[in-house]
Amino acid sequence: MTLDRRFPSVLEWQEGARRRVPKFAYEFLVGGIGEERGICANRSALQAVELLPHYIGDDFTPELGHSLFGQAFSAPFGVAPFGLDGLIWPRMVQHIAGAARRADIPIVMSSFATTTLEEVRALGGENAWFQLYVLKDREKNRSFVERAARAGYKTLVLTVDIPTVTRRRRDIRNGLSVPPAPNLRTYWEVLKRPAWAIETLRAGRPEFKTLLDYVPEGLSLAELGAYLAEETSCIVTIDRIREIRDLWKGRLIIKGILSETDAKHSFELGADGLWISNHGGRQLDAAPTPVSVLPGIRKAVGREIPIMVDSGVRDGLDVARMMALGADFVFLGRAFIYAVAAMGEKGADHAMFVLTEELRMTLGQIGCRRPSDLPAHLVAASE
């Protein structure tokens, strides 16, 4: 049976991931903060966006190629950053980075990935971007930025929406740590997922490999978690953004924007692009959805600055919906992770293929020649 028959959409990828990944890791992936209303709101808001078809017109074939910051990509979507990836499936980021390069779309490497930023840059090439969480220690921030530049990254994504430590109920109940704290329940969950266990043994236990150079030696798991939580609980002030803008000579994108005020501040501080996100519903259960704020932010900043977006996006139709609302580029996280967890390395290439075909089908169905024409098909814009 072909992959397409077994895993035709993200729904099957997610179910496949659930069946192969231990409960503590799967719940970290799918869970959010509080009552998880933010996750539900992201999906509901996207599903309410309607696209108006124009069936009568000239014959054409949809053109998915799209440029961002002067770089041409094969499609207007990419891979969002996701930490602790190796806990979900070993060598997750490596698999996705290689597939992103083959598919010619961008991938954003998280500071909290379980591989090094140098390895992801080598695998992803010019399509690899680096995402930075600001640390309290300014010298460590400087070192991080300089290291990313030496590795060859041209785009830095500065995430601003993690000012405090969060409490996610699923992770607290599961006693989540990296690696998982050994107890009878953990062993039982691992034994029920033999493929995950075997691959983890081959790859080695998941660690924050990019961060290892920035933490004291000899810390226990509990101490490491407490240290990282303390270091990353940091309000990203205007002065800190200025420091990083002065240090970083490449493209700077500020991620986690949800207000017109923050969007304007980012533009004034020298950002080359804005990334609208509520962190996939994982940080604040009362945060607005990107769908609700995207049109206003686009109007506030005009067309001068590129706007990227994530949170709640699951398939090619959702990519089209976000672009119809005014986004220049769309990023997906969980969709790619589900695919690799369900299918292994080949899942990354399969996800790229399916998302591309879903987007191509959507454009063809509504009579839209290229992604940049999608705003003309937004139902609200036509009323």
Q: Which residues of 187-203 are buried (b: 16+ CB within 10 A; e: fewer)?
A: eebbeebeebeebbeeb
Distance from C-alpha of 85 to C-alpha of 310, rounded to nearest angstrom: 18
For 47, residues 6+ apart whose C-beta sits below 8 A from its C-beta are none
Known active-site residue 66: no
Distance from C-alpha of 28 to C-alpha of 20, rounded to nearest angstrom: 14
Distance from C-alpha of 77 to C-alpha of 75, rounded to nearest angstrom: 6
Name the catalytic one among 66, 95, 279, 350. Answer: 279
179 preceded by cis ω (within 30°)?
Answer: yes
Distance from C-alpha of 140 to C-alpha of 147, rounded to nearest angstrom: 10
Distance from C-alpha of 320 to C-alpha of 298, rounded to nearest angstrom: 16
List the structure tokens of 159: 């995430």
Q: Which residues are catalytic?
A: 279
